[in-house]
Chains A and B, each alone.
Chain A
Amino acid sequence: MMRVLAGVAVLLIGGALATAVGRRARLANAVGATSATVGCLVALLPVVGVLASGRAVPPLPWTWNVPFGAFTIGMDPLSAWFAAVILGLSIPAAVYGAGYLPHYADRKLLGPPWLLFNLLIAAMVLVVTAHNGLLFLMAWEGMALASYFLVTFEDEQAGAREAGRVYLIASHWGVACLLLFFTLLGAQTGTLDFHSPRSSPPVASSAHPAGPAGPAGPAGPAGLAGLAGSADPAVEATRSGWRPLGWRARATAGDAGPRRALGPKLTGALFLLALVGFGVKAGLMPLHVWLPEAHPAAPSHVSALMSGAMIKTGLYGLLRAWTILGPPPAWWGWLLVVIGLSSGLLGILYALAQRDLKRLLAYSSVENVGIIALGLGIGLLGLSAGSAALAVLGFAGALLHVWNHAAFKSLLFLGAGVILQAAGTQRLDGLGGLLKRMPVVGGAFLLGAVAICGLPPLNGFLSEFLIYLSALQVFQGSSLSRTSSSVVALAAMGGLALIGGLTAACFSKAVGIVFLGQPRSEAARQAGPPSGLMTAAMLALAGGCVLASLAIGPLLRRLAPVLAIATGLSDGAIADSLGPARAPLASVVGVGFFVLVLVGLLVAWRSWLLRGRTAARGETWGCGYAAPTARMQYTSFSFAQPLTDFFAVAAGLRQNLSEPVGLFPDRASVDTRHTDALRQGLFASLYRGASWGLARLHWLQHGRLNLYVLYVAVTLVILLAWEFGLSEWLGGWWSWLAASLAGGF
């Protein structure tokens, strides 16, 4: 843990130094980027250690004289899984930033963005390692603020200011829910510390070889029994199941007797609070509205970090909250499945309708978070039904997708940044033909696009495949009811297939319009390749995508202890459930190799065939028309038009068409714009309602200072009265209220 803190210290000191050097842009840039890289490397080592061993690092319980607070940070495999995403992504983002930020050197100070960048990383690391509610919330808020200032980095642009405002408001909605969540939970359990279930050395997590050869038989059913909340205390005590999870107070009290049970209604309310609070950060529909504004506005390496890592902290929060809340009822899973599917479908439909590359990528993040939520929802359904295989495969697919999405989405965002700087625009219809101008970047972007479409043999397919397998678990005679299982299968298979098809449409559009064909503007024609640092960062991420697909076996082994925490199942049950998935995954990788070999053979055959023949260059065939211009190409809008028309209601496209009429037609125009239906319909009307309601209170605010002083005086008098006895008088009344409230729960 000390090494993680050392890394964080390097980040903070480096960021401060970068700011301190002031106007010397090159020095600030060098200091900032170096400190970010070094700090992340230092912190990454212990994270890798935790993942490799599957053992948690005991938390550092430093006292901290903040009420209810304790500077307790520790790292169990679940924390490490997410910390690895954050740190592993920050390094290429920092390297890329070193090449990207000097672009702004003539009009911006480079120190502050580096300080904020480092602060953002440090806050995210703290979020996933904090073992105390208050510390968690402070880190959470620090993360939101650091990223807010990065979103508004180009604050001379109205769009960036607006994006920052939306982001700040949305973030604080989330924080408000989390505050309530932790307060309620703390009030129930008496402390804000949370304890990792793996803080004591695990019994068998790394000892036994995970796989089909792992301990089978008795472990599985026992794990299930513990999972289903069996009344047999002996079974429960042997499992690192729900009982030792969560709060220290409960753990210590639990030794004496049964823990203070959270009633189902209170747990349900806590679940919803966590879902809203963390769902805002994760970008789940309908709470995603900030995401397509904020992510494109930030500098591209920050966009990459936000889309790749920051939204994942929301998912981490959800997972951590579930380990605290105990066995899930079925409706949690259903809710997650519905939210996941609607995020996935609407997210990709909105992405398809975008004409701005970074916005398209941001909406696709919503879609991917939806896929992750779908996996988690299936997992929760499995947990609630006592089907370990369903639970493990759903969670495994979701957690794997967290890594995979981090790799390819940040790769795509970095590519978008290159294009922004080289061509000066993000507008898809001003781009084209960039593959020839920047072959390496284009190739990496293409690879990222194939990966994000979930196409084999790259990593995106593997995590989606696991979620498909969890849907196929229906055949394993899972203990879901017939109707439930058919709905799960229908939703997961049909939904994922439709999402997959739409994603392929969306990213063939992105790649095709941006990198292929002819340049659609002069700027795109002049664009040149980026600096070596930026290219290197993209290549590293592209390599990560390839590696993640090749190393699926070792990755699953590292995932097992993470799953043990996330699902609360025993190691044996997890190995039993993951075991049957190994052979298919290996076959998928094998078939992927076969594709590559075939590609090589076909290339060789074609060049052998074409040897000595003419391979002429000519014009693109245009039915004999020999002077095609770039403007005649299909545009991003026309490419997506059949799909967006078909799903017009969902995709939120509005068209204003004034047709030419009469014998001498006047001006005609057509104007199509995409509006986020949820933002316009849901939140805009909510806020209009709020501002109408608050306007009724306007009489309180009139600018007369003497009356304001009176308000202060009245408040003080009431507080004094409270101190001297009013509290006791009210106390009786209050306890009655509280009792009736608690009774209600």
Chain B
Amino acid sequence: MPEASGLLRFFPTAVALLLAPLMLGVINRIKAMFAGRRGPPILQPYWNLAKLLGKGAVYSHTTSWVFRAGPIIGLAATAAAALLMPLGPCDAAFHFAGDVVLFAYLLGLARFFTVAAALDTGSSFEGMGASRDVFFSALAEPSLLLGLLAAAKAAVSSSTWFELTGLHQQITVEVWLNAGMVLLFVVVALFLVLLAECSRIPVDDPTTHLELTMIHEVLVLDHGGPDLAYILYGAALKLWLLAVLIVSVALPRTAYPWLDMILAVGGAFGVAVVIGVVESSMARLRLLRVPQLLVGAAVLTVLALMLEFQT
């Protein structure tokens, strides 16, 4: 694939920015179907964002500028991470050796400031959410990097440096035939990471606000108006990016760029459907079980890595 020139290189980023909230709409529709409801319109997340952007804001007396910086830095870092994610036949806007590390750390930057903003309110609810968020993400981060390392080892020829775009373009049907087990492990592990990072069932329940089980929802309890819109949009963007990442490992490239594009975008919404099915068919895990799930994901990636290096 030749290097896209000019503004065209930002195409994957633009698609991510546009379609990310639609993922939430799809998930909600699937959940509604399972529950036998009609469900909200599929574009409802966009209307929600628009409504929030039109509101005023309330800031607690306790808070400082860090509280207001949290949503902004969170969204900015996530959007910057979107620059690194390729989509189907299109290379990412920026791709370089080790960009996956920057990707993971940009999500870390977003988390750091979200957590700081939560602690700024002085509420023990939000302290609790912050504490759990840093815990689970610390366990999820190694799986993300190691999983991609294993997938890259399976797919990327040894003469090129490992980068997200390179990985993305080199997973073909042959790679799946040769190292299907490795890639399968990686896909499962990445899906678990997605569930934890995006606070979906069975790690967290995105529909509850004030039970003691929540993580991400309570983290942002005090934000409202445009700040909350930034946060929700950032969360949707993160969901989109991780879904695209999974699709890029899970679906092999074809010979036709247009088919790749359809597969990539369709695959991302396919991940949304799977999330909806998972959320409809199981309950949230007990909090003490969540680390086991994440350690399981890490074990899967280590296994994949060992398989790949031994074969």
Contact = CB atoms under 8 A, between A and B. Distances in A.
A476 to B, nearest CB: 7
B98 A633 contact: no
Contacts of A616: 56-59
A584 B145 contact: no
B134 A504 contact: yes
Interface stretch (A306-314, A417-425, A495-503, A562-570): A495-503
A622 B210 CA distance: 10
B76 A599 contact: yes
B108 A494 contact: no
Interface stretch (B19-27, B122-130, B177-185): B122-130
A584 B99 contact: yes
Contacts of B128: 634, 638
Interface residues of B, number: 88
Interface in B43-80: 53-66, 72-73, 75-77, 79-80
A587 interface: yes
30 contacts: A465-B101, A469-B97, A469-B98, A472-B161, A475-B153, A475-B160, A475-B161, A476-B159, A494-B146, A494-B302, A497-B146, A498-B141, A501-B137, A505-B134, A507-B112, A512-B119, A516-B120, A517-B119, A606-B72, A616-B57, A617-B60, A620-B60, A620-B61, A620-B62, A621-B123, A623-B125, A634-B119, A638-B128, A638-B131, A642-B135
Nearest to A442: B64
Central interface residue in A472, A483, A489, A501, by most chain B CB within 10 Å: A501
Interface in A571-595: 580-581, 583-584, 587-588, 590-591, 594-595
Sorted nearest first, the 9 A-B pairs with minimum C-beta distance are A634-B127, A501-B138, A512-B119, A486-B309, A517-B122, A598-B76, A505-B134, A613-B56, A516-B120
A517 B116 contact: no
Given A501-B108, A517-B120, A643-B134, A456 B102 contact: yes
Contact of B226 (A512, A596, A609): A609
Nearest to A482: B309
B116 A508 contact: yes
B80 A591 contact: yes
Given A468-B98, A512-B130, A489 B305 contact: yes
A504 B111 contact: yes
Contact of A477 (B59, B101, B141, B158): B158
Contact of A587 (B94, B137, B153, B156): B94
Interface of B: 53-66, 72-73, 75-77, 79-80, 83-84, 94, 96-99, 101-102, 104-106, 108-109, 111-112, 115-116, 118-128, 130-132, 134-135, 137-142, 144-146, 149, 152-153, 156, 158-162, 210, 221-222, 225-227, 230, 291, 298, 302, 305-306, 308-310
Contacts of B105: 454-456, 461, 500
Given A613-B56, A639-B127, 9 more contacts: A435-B65, A497-B141, A500-B108, A512-B119, A590-B94, A605-B226, A620-B60, A620-B61, A620-B121
Contacts of B57: 610, 613-616
A512 B116 contact: yes
A490 interface: yes
Nearest to A597: B76
B114 to A, nearest CB: 9
Contacts of B162: 472, 475
A454 B109 CA distance: 9
B70 to A, nearest CB: 10
Contacts of B137: 501, 504
Contacts of B291: 646
A165 interface: no
A497 B83 CA distance: 21
B102 A643 contact: no
A317 B160 CA distance: 36
B56 A615 contact: yes
A720 interface: no
A641 interface: yes
A614 B225 CA distance: 11
A453 B310 CA distance: 34
Contact of B145 (A456, A497, A620): A497
Dominant SS at the A interface? helix
Contacts of B298: 494
A476 B105 CA distance: 23
A507 B109 CA distance: 12
Nearest to A602: B72
A606 B138 contact: no
A486 B99 contact: no
A538 interface: no
Central interface residue in B94, B122, B135, by most chain A CB within 10 Å: B122
Interface of A: 432-433, 435-436, 446, 450, 453-456, 461, 465, 468-469, 472, 474-477, 482-483, 485-486, 489-490, 493-495, 497-498, 500-502, 504-505, 507-509, 511-513, 515-518, 580-581, 583-584, 587-588, 590-591, 594-596, 598-599, 602-603, 605-606, 609-610, 613-623, 628, 630, 632-634, 638-643, 646
A478 B135 CA distance: 35
A622 B119 contact: no
A511 B57 CA distance: 25
B66 A516 contact: yes
A583 B96 contact: yes
Contacts of A515: 66
Contacts of A623: 125, 210
Contacts of A461: 102, 105
A85 to B, nearest CB: 25
Given A472-B162, A512-B116, A632 B124 contact: yes
B122 A628 contact: yes
A520 to B, nearest CB: 10
Contacts of B84: 591
B159 A477 contact: yes
A633 B226 contact: no
Given A475-B152, A580-B97, A615-B57, A517 B306 contact: no
A642 B132 contact: yes
Contacts of B149: 472, 489, 493
Contacts of A583: 96-97
A477 B140 CA distance: 28
B138 A516 contact: no
Contacts of A622: 123, 125
Contact of A433 (B62, B146, B159): B62
A615 B56 CA distance: 6
A501 B98 CA distance: 18
A505 B59 contact: no
A216 to B, nearest CB: 16
Contacts of B138: 498, 501-502, 504-505, 643
A455 B161 contact: no
Contact of A602 (B62, B76, B144, B158): B76
B211 to A, nearest CB: 11
Contacts of A641: 131
A621 B222 contact: yes
Contacts of B140: 501
